[in-house]
Chain A
């Protein structure tokens, strides 16, 4: 059912958040309580829900497919984040091009 797939998604997010927190913990030499990891994973899960505003951005541009431009708009409030996302986007584009050339 729907609840089951929600739980499954939450569990996957929680697991991954746990791994990422573990990396940060080692890097910064701090410890995260299980409750902190749980809260971060719930925030992440819900944040994905609010990013459903993707669809609104798409409709704004009269498109039905989400593009990298929509993703960049999500980062518009911080120059640092926008630069990072834009660089990633360019990397993806160029590696896609290389892949096509190989074929």
Chain B
């Protein structure tokens, strides 16, 4: 087969073994689309029939994600390790009440010349109130 598309034989195999049909009782998997809460959305949002599709979730198994998952041929990237570290940090903070260990650890290092203090309106009090 020299074409980009499937040959009749390949199509037959795909149709028989892999193609999701209504009678299969499984929903067609789809990926979530990018959306920005704080920006005007230019992305085309295609509406899916919720009964026939299942949006793949990137957060459903979050409690598994504070450790590196096994790899096959591709190593974890730096970005991936950053993600794992933050998930672990969140796990550690999950049961904190009120005071935040991260804040207590980091706040003594703050130098006010490093930050923009916009008119100083009520922002300083924020870090002190629960």
In chain B, what residue has the closest Cβ to A33? B100
Contact for B96 among A12, A14, A35, CB less than 8 A: A35
A14-B106, A35-B100, A80-B40 known, 4 other contacts, Cβ within 8 Å: A38-B102, A39-B89, A50-B82, A83-B42
Give how many B residues have a beta carbon under 8 Å from the other chain's beta carbons: 37
Check if A46 sits within 8 Å of B100, measured CB to CB. Answer: no
Q: For the complex, what is the distance from the CA of A81 to the CA of B111, rounded to whole Å?
A: 32
Residues of B within 8 A of A70 (CB): none
Q: Is the interface of B mostly helix, strand, loop or mixed?
A: loop
Q: For the complex, what is the distance from the CA of A38 to the CA of B107, rounded to whole Å?
A: 11
Check if B103 sits within 8 Å of A14, measured CB to CB. Answer: yes
Interface centre among A34, A37, A43, A84 (most CB of B within 10 A): A34
A16 at the interface (CB under 8 A from B): yes
Hey, which bits of chain A sit against chain B, CB under 8 A?
4, 7-12, 14-16, 18-19, 22, 33-35, 37-39, 41-43, 46-47, 49-50, 77-81, 83-84
Contacts A12-B111, A19-B126: A34 and B39 contacting too (C-beta < 8 A)? no
B79 at the interface (CB under 8 A from A): yes
Residues of A within 8 A of B40 (CB): 80, 83-84
B34 at the interface (CB under 8 A from A): yes
